[in-house]
Amino acid sequence: MGSETIVAETLLRRADRVDHRFVNPVPTAIGGWTTARKALPLYFANKEEKTPAHPLGPFHTDTSVYVDPPASGLRVTWLGHSSMLVEIEDVRLLIDPVWDERASPVRWAGPKRFFAPPLKLEELPPINIVLVSHDHYDHLGESTVRTLAKMESMKDTEWVTPLGVGEHLEHYGVKRSRITQLDWTERAGGEKLEIIALPARHFSGRGIFDRFETLWSSFVLKGARQNVYFGADSGWWPGFEEIGAQFGPFDLTMLEIGAYNELWDAIHLGPDKAVLAFEALGGKGLLMPIHWGLFDLALHSWRQPIDRFMELVGEKGIKAWTPEPGRPTEVMKDCELRTNWW
């Protein structure tokens, strides 16, 4: 899969580096030990329902649905958090795959899944592209990638990542020849689907000492009939308006609502700023909340992001799209979907 550079303006430009480390598109302070010291007492004093009191699901995916392409041109199977299978026409993308039990560098500790994957990896239909937005553990599962890399059904699959993330994939068993790494404002894909990597306000790293060594991105997924924005992880920044003006309108906009707190609001949206970002992007089409409902990654209760999100979209008349985990669901133009599964 080749790549080419598009002409960028103002905030939509290639990523800059300082001392060999990537920097955000706007000045951004990333919390370190000071933030950790402030957050630790809050975690100990926290009395929120941070994990579900009762088991969720089980959720199961009817894989027979994948025999036929989506009639609407767009079908999404949300698998929890930011993992999903997106079908645009007859192209299938697996986005930020995490089947791992924990979003953690170790298997014996760290945030644990609230529910099991709705389908097993070996039950996946043929995947054309795996898209990874950045290298954090809740978006890039090592054991997941190692398994995918060994599967016969994945031998012809393309992998698309921001700069540097491909080295992780290669280390986990993905062939280098199958990996395309994109800088911000670069494109990949072909006539059926174009993938455009765009800036996001976040950071990267799999450990304490490798922050900013790889790039993080949001993506536009542009098909013949459908146009999707996958916001991945990002705090609020003025670039949302430019993205909407240059690449919108979007039929479906996916923005993160969970794992937020005022201590790190520069790098995560939360529901209030997700709604503001949607409006800045043009406010057209459907808004899908992602990055919630699977892992305990913050101080709020596990339901708080979605409850606040639904309150906000109701107040503003925004068309929400909240599918049940694991259910392949057609995206019909401007047709709202509220399952309230939680």
The average confidence (pLDDT) of the chain is: 94
Q: Is 218 left (phi over 0), alpha (psi -120 to 50) or beta?
A: beta
Binning pLDDT at 50, 70 and 90, where does residue 185 land? very high
Domain extents in the chain: 64-338
Flag whether pLDDT at 43 surpasses 70.
no
Q: Which residue did the predictor score with more confidence, 4 or 34? A: 34
Residue 226: which of 256, 196, 248 has the closest Cα? 248
pLDDT band at 8 (very low <50, low <70, confident <90, very high): very low
- Give 21's strand partners: 18
Assign 3-state DSSP to the chain and report helix, strand, coil percentages, each to 5: 25, 20, 55
- Helix (H) / strand (E) element for 65: namely none
Residue range 46-79, pLDDT digits in tens: 778 999 999 999 999 999 999 999 999 999 999 9
Average pLDDT over residues 211-217: 97
pLDDT average, residue stretch 21-26: 97
Least trusted range by pLDDT, from 38-42, 110-114, 120-124, 170-174:
38-42
Distance CA 14, CA 8 (A): 8
Q: Which residues contact 16 (CB under 8 A, 6 or more apart)?
A: 22, 23
pLDDT above 90 for 1:
no
Question: 64-338: which CATH number, 3.60.15.10, 3.40.50.10420, 3.40.50.261, 3.40.50.720?
Answer: 3.60.15.10
pLDDT at 311 > cutoff 80: yes
